Amino acid sequence: MRHKHYDFLVIGSGLAGLAFALKVAQQGRVLVLSKTSLEISNTEMAQGGIAAVMSQDDSLEKHAQDTLTAGAGLCFEPAVRHVVEQAPHRIQDLIEWGVVFDHDPDQKISLAREGGHSARRILHVEDQTGLEIHRQVLKRARENPNITFRENHFAIDLISMKKMRPHYFGRDMCVGAYVIDKNTQEVYSQTADFTILACGGAGKVYLYTSNWSGATGDGIAMAHRLGARIANLEFMQFHPTCLYHPESRNFLITEAMRGEGGELVNDRGEAFMRKYHPLGSLAPRDIVARSIDAEMKKSGADCVYLDMSAKSADFIRSRFPQIYKRCLELGIDITARPIPVVPAAHYLCGGVMTDLNGRSDIDRLFVVGETACTGLHGANRLASNSLLECLVFSHDAARWIGENREGLDRELGDLRLSELDIAKWQPKHPGGKGAKGRNFAQNNDENADELILVTHMWEEIRRLMWAYVGIVRTNRRLERAQHRLANILSELDEYYSSFKTHSDIVELRNIAVVAELTVRCALMRKESRGIHYNLDYPKTLIGRAEDSII
């Protein structure tokens, strides 16, 4: 059953993957792979909400302009308008799937405001919007008989038609993936008519992040190895307010708190954001993160603070119950004292390049969610556009496949993807120097020793990226990072070729690849724009902005 061919192979079980699965389930059998538990993803960590024009006081044009402004001139405007116009319809999908958004006393949907938005348009479920959306969409997907799930199954690499059949003369296509069962560390091939990367972002490439532990850029690394174009990885958005506490290093303090009157103050209790931007604490995220970084460097302080004293204790407890509860568990009563916060790697605006239907450069390979670079976010994501992006492009990818599948299948002629003879997985890295003949899985002591080294290398990459490719960059720092990453990749190349495939080693390889691609993208950009700020090129170039494409 494990090797059974599916119509759709969805790699990732966050909102993008689940929404796509629900949309195509009527077209055929769907297999969804989750690298850990189905309940764990970045989606369920999204606190603030989802943006859509739902009020007469707002307009599609305002939402589009706010997105374009936040994107600092790099957004692909057709993508922006495409997403904004669909937003109310995709909200209706969520409601039909069982999501109940918060309502005002007059029974209208409650709309919050966040940084960069000119109107209230953020639908939410208290301060756990992503958690509730994921819970309801997963429940609906589990009820669908055409959707199969495999937990703890991790895609290693995509399967190329040209590698399977060297004499195939068409454009290369993806016919599935090699997958490792994390319970047994066994590798098997999984074929499908269409493969969808919905693997999320790459926050774990950095030392401090709001992301879950599995956000290791797997989809980007796999697509790159297959030959798909990657763009704009220099634009890793640093969320301005992650809780600063030794026992909770990735707990996000939602931007909605600033939307409800929260004020950023320094270690002397002084509100400082008006010095940097007229919108103060509601400025776009890139500006807020850099401003916090500047204040911390000036004072030498380890953090700044988010002051909610303008709101009553009852309001804070009812509007932000999860944040209140979590902070209280750590000894911080946010109704009585400011919250210590620091910026942390949060959301990747670049990724695998796609069109407006989620199609990559590789036939039959679609990319949705944070793994994709659709042009929506440009150089900086507008708050609460991320969940919306997942829904819109999953919907459009499913629709496009439905409308074009017959023609695509005709192009295959007598070729049947379900009958392909897939080569057995070869763990040797394509650029490797050859295996040393060791199989560390056969020796438990050696296995444990080598996996400790994996952890050390992981930490080295993350610290390197935080120090040299962080909120503020210089050419010298980027070049140092590039040099060290080249050495790490060389070590990994031999390491990966020398031992039996293990999920931890695969993740390490992926973050190293994404880190190196990020530095290359950053060095390509001879300006500061949006999230990317380089002291050697402090000005933004005038004229049409260009993507950094690899």
DSSP string, 287-337: HHHHHHHHHHHHH--S-EEEE-TTS-HHHHHHHSHHHHHHHHHTT--TTTS
Q: Residues 329-364, buried b or exposed e (16+ Cβ, 10 A)?
A: eeebebbeebbbbbbbbbbbbbbbbbbbbbbbbbbb
Q: Give the strand pairing for 372-373 and 351-353.
A: parallel
The rounded distance, in Å, linking the Cα atoms of 522 and 532 is 8
Q: What angle do CA 506, 172, 182 make, to 5 degrees?
A: 20
- H-helix or E-strand spanning residue 112: strand 111-112
Q: Which residues are catalytic?
A: 285
* 265 DSSP β-pair partners: 271, 305
Structure-derived torsion over alpha carbons of residues 370, 371, 374, 379, reported in degrees to the nearest 10: 60
Residue 249 structure tokens: 């290093």
The rounded distance, in Å, linking the Cα atoms of 15 and 7 is 20
The rounded distance, in Å, linking the Cα atoms of 477 and 188 is 41
How far apart, in Å, do the first and last CA atoms of the chain sit? 38
